[in-house]
Chain A
Amino acid sequence: MSAAITHEELHGEAHDHAHEAHPKQSFIYKYIFSTDHKVIGIQYGLTSLVFLLAGFFLMMVMRWSIAYPDKPMPLIGAFLGDRWAPGGVVSPELYNMFGAMHGTIMVFLGVVPLAFGAFGNYLVPLQIGAIDMAFPKLNAWSYWLNLIGGVLMMMSFFMPSGAAQSGWTNYSPLASTTQMDVKDVFFSGQTQWLMAMVFLISSSLLGSVNIITTIINLRCKGMTWMRMPFFVWGMLVTAFLLLLAFPPLEVAAVLQLFDRLFGSSFFLPTGLLDSNRHLDIAGGGSPLLYQHLFWFLAHPEVYVLILPAFCIVSDIIPCNIRRPLWGHKTMVYAALVLGFFSFIVWAHHMYLTGMGAVVSTFFQITTVSISVPSVVLLTCLMISLWGGSIRFNTPMLFACAFLPMFGIGGLTGLPLAFSMTDLFLHDTYYVIGHFHYVVAPGTIFALFAGIYHWYPKITGRFMNETLGRLHFWPSLICMNFLFAPMFIQGLAGFHRRWYNGGMAFEDTTRHLLWLNEVMSIAAWCLALSQIPFILNVFLSIKGGKKVTCDNPWHATTLEWATPTPPGHGNFNFEPVVHRGPYEYSVPGASTDYTPQWLAEGEVPEEKLTHAEH
C-alpha cells in the first residue's frame, strides 16, 4: 500500500506514454477505450442517464394506457407501430413489454450503473487517495460489458417478438413459455433479456471485484479504516452485495436460457400446459426454484440501490451543514449489518407462494431486524443536521428531500414485512408506491444531489442554481402526486400490471379510478421538470460559473485535493491523510473546514490547480 512507489511508477509510465503515443490513437484511448477510472465513471454516468430517460419514457407511455385505456395516444402513439399499438392505442402486449423493460432498465441499466458504476468509479479512488482502480483494464471491460448488455436489451424491442414481456422478475414458467412461437427462439425478446442479463451481471462482477480490491489495497498513507468516508464504506458493502448476490441470478438466467433454447425443464413442472396443450418437455422442474434464485439476488439488489444513495447524501450533508456527520462509526457498523442481513430476507418476496410457520417466522424476524440498521442510518443523517449551519444549495435541497422521502419508502415497507398483512397488499399498488418512494424520490434524488455536488470537480464549473431549483421543486411535488396515491389504490385492492388501470374490476376499483389520471398527469409533469436538469448538465459545461479553487464547497474529503478537473494519476502531490473525513467547524481551527490531507498546523489554501498529466 505504498502510495509513494505507485505514484512514481505512474509518473514514469505516463511520461513514457507521452513520448510513444500516437496523437490520434491517444484520443481514442483517452476518451473511449480509456482505463482511467474517471473517464469510465463519466462514461457510466452518461450512459446510465440516457437509460434512465429511456426507462422513464416507457413509463410515460404506460401511464397513458392506465389513465386512458384503449384510447389512441396523442403524438407518440403514431410512432409505436401498428403491430404493438394499432391506431396509436397501447395494446396489453405493449404494456407488458414496456412494464418489464421499465423495471429492467431502471434497475439494471439506470440506477445501479449510475450509483455504483459512475459515482463509485469516479469517487472511490479519489476519496482514498489512489491513482486509479486496482484493475484499470477490468474496469474498462466492466463498462463495455454493461454497454453491450444495454444495447442487446434495447435491440430486443425491434425483434419480431418484441422485447421481454414477463415483468422485471421474469418468472418461469411465463418467461419460459412466451414468445416460443417465433421463427427463431434465440432472437426473441425473452431470450435476449437473458443474454443481456448475463452481460450486465458479468459487468457488475468485474466492477465489484475492482472496487473491493481498490479499497482494501490502494488507500493512501494515513487512510485507516475509520478515516474512510462513509461513502467509501458504503461502496465497499455495495460491492460485496453485488459480488455475492449476482452469481445466483446469473445461474438462473443461464438455466432459463437452457429451458428456452435446449428443451430442458429446470423451472418447468411435469405436465405443464400452454393453451390447453401439454408442452413437449420432460418436466420435473420447479418454478419456485427460479423465484428463490431471483430474489436471492434481488433483495440484496435493493440495498445496492439504496446504499450508494446513503453514501452520496452522507458526503453532501456534512459539507452543507458545516459540522461532522453524527455517528460516522455507527453508520459504518449499520451498513455492515445491513449488508449481512440483506442476504437472509429474500423470501419475504415469496410469502404468497405459501410457506410453513417456521420458514415464515424466520423471514419475518430477519426482515423486521433489517429495519433497525436502516433506521439507524436515516436517524444519524437527520440528527447530523442538529446544530448545523445549513446552506440550501441545489445538492443540499435534493439531499434534504431524500430524508423524508426515503423515510416514507421505508415506513411503508413495514406492513409488507409481516406475512399476513403482506398477503393483503402484495402485488398491489401499495408495493409499487413503497419501492418507488425508496428508489425514485429516495435514491434518484440522492443521485441528482451527487451530480450537482461533484459537477464542479468534474468540469471546473458550477451547475446553474436557478435551473437547479426549477428542477428540484417541481420534481419533488410531481413525485409525491405520482406515488402517494398508489398507497390509497393499493389499500383498496388495485393490483399491479393492469394495462387498463383496473377497468375490468369495477366493483373493486370504481371509486378510485380517477386517481389514475392524477398520477399520469403528475408523471408527465415530472418529465417536464427534468428539462431544466438536462439543459443544466449540457449548458453548464461551457456556460456555468467557473470555480475559483479546487475545493469550491470547502469540503474535507480527498477528492477536493485534486486539480480541477483531476488528470491522469489524480493528485499533483502525494496525499497523506491526517484525520477523519468530516472535520467541519473544529473548535479553534482557523477555517470552518479542516481537510483530511491538511498537515497539523497548516491552513487550507484556496487555489485553482491544473492537472500535470
Chain B
Amino acid sequence: MFALITSLNNLLGVPGLASEHGEMVDHMLGLIQWFMLLLFVGWSTFLAIVFTKFRKSNNPNADYIGVRGHASTHIEIGVVIVEIILLLGFAIPLWSTQSEQYPMGPDVVKLRAVGEKFNWSFQYAGLDGNLGNQELRFVNTSAGNMIGRDLKDPNGKDDFVKSGEMTIPVGRPIIIDVTSKDVIHNLALVPMRIAQDATPGVRAHIWFRPTKTGEWDIICGQLCGVGHSGMKAKLTVVSEKEFDAFLKDNSEEAIKASAAQPAPLASR
C-alpha cells in the first residue's frame, strides 16, 4: 500500500528518504500527488470534451440553462472531504509530534546549528548530553569564540564545535537548535524531510531520527547574500559506534582545552 501511494513520488523523482517521520511526510505527499493528478485529469478531460463538443461548428445554438443537476456540488464536497482527511489524518498530528513531542532520555543527541554568511557551525552537547548556553553577545572572534558560547555555563565545558560538517548517529533521536549570527539562513535537510529557518535572536528547534547512514548536502534554503548559492555543509550519518567514538574523542579534547584555559573572570 505504501509503495503504491508513494509510487508517484518515485516517478517524479522525490529523493531518497533517511528519517523516521519522513515516511509519513512522503506518505502524505504521495496521497496529495494522487489527489492532484485525479483532479487535473478530471478537469482536463472535462475541458477536452467541452472544447470539442460545444465549439460553434458543432453546437451553433447555445443553451441558456446549461448544466442541470448537482455533479459539481458533489465534486466540491468530495474535495472538501479529502482535504479534511489530509488535515486531520496527517497534517495536524504529524506537526504536533514534530513540534511538541520532543524525545527525551539518554539516547537523545543534542546539537546546535549556527548559520553565518556563508557556512554552518555545529555545536555538540558532548559527553554530558547537555548543550552549553549560547548568545550572540558572547561572540568574540579574537578569543576564538566564533558562535558565542557561554564559557561560564558548566554544561558547555565538554561541548565542541565543528564547522561545515554535521555528524550524527543512525537510529537515535536528534534534536537541533537552529539559530544564526547575522541574517536569516535555513537549515534544509532534504533526505530527512525537514528544514528550519535560522533566525538571529530566535531559538528554534527541530528533531528527527535518521534511519540510514550516508552523506548528503546540507542546503541553505533562505537567501542570505552574495554567497547563498554556495552555502553548503555536509550531513554525515554514521553508525552509533562510530558516533560514540567521535563524540568521546572530541569531548575529552574539549574538556582538556577548557581546563587548560584560565577560568573566565567572574566580572568584567
Contact = CB atoms under 8 A, between A and B. Distances in A.
B230 interface: yes
Given A321-B54, A386-B54, A508 B219 contact: yes
B60 to A, nearest CB: 6
Contacts of A278: 136-137, 139
B14 A364 contact: no
B25 A178 contact: no
B193 A493 contact: no
* Best-buried of A273, A355, A382, A385 by chain B (most CB within 10 Å): A273
A376 B15 contact: no
Nearest to A286: B201
B181 interface: yes
B182 A272 contact: yes
B71 to A, nearest CB: 9
B56 interface: yes
Given A365-B87, A372-B80, A420-B25, 5 more contacts: A326-B66, A364-B91, A387-B63, A390-B55, A423-B194
A497 B231 CA distance: 12
Nearest to A321: B62
Contacts of B35: 414
Interface of B: 9, 12-15, 24-25, 28-29, 32-33, 35-36, 39-40, 43-44, 46-47, 50-51, 54-56, 59-67, 72, 75-76, 79-80, 83, 86-87, 90-92, 94-96, 98-100, 116-117, 135-137, 139, 141, 146, 148, 178, 181-184, 186, 188, 190, 193-197, 199-202, 204-206, 215-217, 219-230, 232
Interface string A372-397: 10011001001111111111100000
B43 A404 contact: yes
B182 A420 contact: no
Contacts of B65: 387
B36 A412 contact: yes
B66 A498 contact: no
B67 A326 contact: yes
Given A404-B44, A495-B219, A505-B232, A288 B54 contact: no
B266 to A, nearest CB: 21
B46 to A, nearest CB: 6
B223 A174 contact: yes
Nearest to A351: B95
A287 B201 contact: yes
A5 interface: no
A538 B44 CA distance: 35
A322 B199 contact: no
A586 B55 CA distance: 19
A360 B94 CA distance: 11
Given A364-B92, A497-B229, A352 B182 contact: no
B115 to A, nearest CB: 11
A352 B186 contact: yes
Nearest to A493: B190
Contact of B148 (A271, A286, A386, A487): A271
B205 A354 contact: yes
Contacts of A322: 62
* Best-buried of A166, A353, A355 by chain B (most CB within 10 Å): A353
Nearest to B79: A375
A408 B40 contact: yes
A488 interface: yes
Q: Which 4 A-B pairs give the minimum distances between C-beta atoms?
A: A269-B201, A271-B136, A387-B63, A354-B204
Contacts of B204: 353-354
Contact of B86 (A273, A408, A418, A592): A418
